[in-house]
Amino acid sequence: MVNKFDVPAMWTRQMGEVVAKSTELAADAYDTSAGLAALRAGYRAERKFWNEGGPELARVHDAKVPTEFGDVGVRAYYPVAEPDLPCIVFIHGGGYVLGSPETHDRITRILADRTGAAVVSVDYTLSPEAKHPQAMRECVAVIQELQKRPDRWGIDGSDISLAGDSGGAFMSLSAHLYLRDELNSLIDFRCLLLFYGFFGLRDSMSWRLLGGPWDGLTAEDYRYYLEMFLTSPEQIHDPYVDLFSHDLTRDMPPCYIAAADLDPLRDDSRCLAAILANSGLPHRYEQFSGVIHAFLHNSRMLDEANDALQHAATFFHDHAK
């Protein structure tokens, strides 16, 4: 695509060091042309380094949650050995075709440590094995399980939040809207913690100017992920893909919205924040300078990743029930 910015000339020194390290770890980590198996293997290899050294927690265990599509795995993180903890349901990113609780382990450990909440990370079924809306509805089933059986999970079922990065931020907001508008279930979420998500824009200034092999978000990459995720091109208009087709001016939990200013998805976050601001709804929008998409993974080397996680934890505490 023409008119793209020279993003490598614009990122911070630390961001450049992160990109160099990621290339050293797995040069094909974001290469959608390599084929699905190679793409997934490269992604797992690259994420292994970034997940080392997370906080030690009181307990971490894997479990299964029944859904209409079969059992879905979750990994539950407990920062302290106490009952009735607040709960954050974390939904990982990865373009809907990559990722797992394992690839996002350090992020979820840090969130648990800094919020004091139990964090339940959902291992939803990836695409193309599952097409939209299966993954989102699996996440909804996990949320319902936690709310209905809090004693089983050691949580306070009336104090649940949602969080996610990239495609996981999309699924967090989509799950809330599905519960609200389809199931008429107004779960009183404490907050949503949304890191650089896609929320439905089909074109934007940031898409026109940004994206490249360094973040795996070229125009060709974007088409690849959507083809894997959707049953047909027309499904891009589905209300649980185009989240801006919903009324976002009412019944919205407080939202922490983090964006990267060198991210093609940046304007999705800006648009969501503008709607909430215009409606007087509680939120905090932050745009982190000089960093690219998926920077939250890089807390071993990148100050902005630690800042975003800390600011999300602060927002969580500020909206305690």
Task: Name the residues annotated as catalytic.
Answer: 166, 263, 293
Query: Which contiguous run of DSSP H or E holds residue 195?
Result: strand 192-195
Residues ≥6 apart with Cβ < 8 Å to 209: 3, 4, 5
| Beta pairing partners, 122 | 74, 91
DSSP state of 210: -
Q: 78 - beta bridge partners? A: 59
User: Can you name the residues that pair with 288 across neighbouring β-strands?
Assistant: 260
Coil, strand or helix at 162: strand
Residue 159 vs residues 107, 199, 265: alpha-carbon distances, Å: 21, 25, 30
- For residue 203, report the phi and psi dihedrals to the nearest 5 degrees: -160, 150
Neighbours of 81 (CB within 10 A): 10
Residues 173 and 243: their CA atoms lie apart, in Å, by 8
Which tokens is 131 given? 């097409």
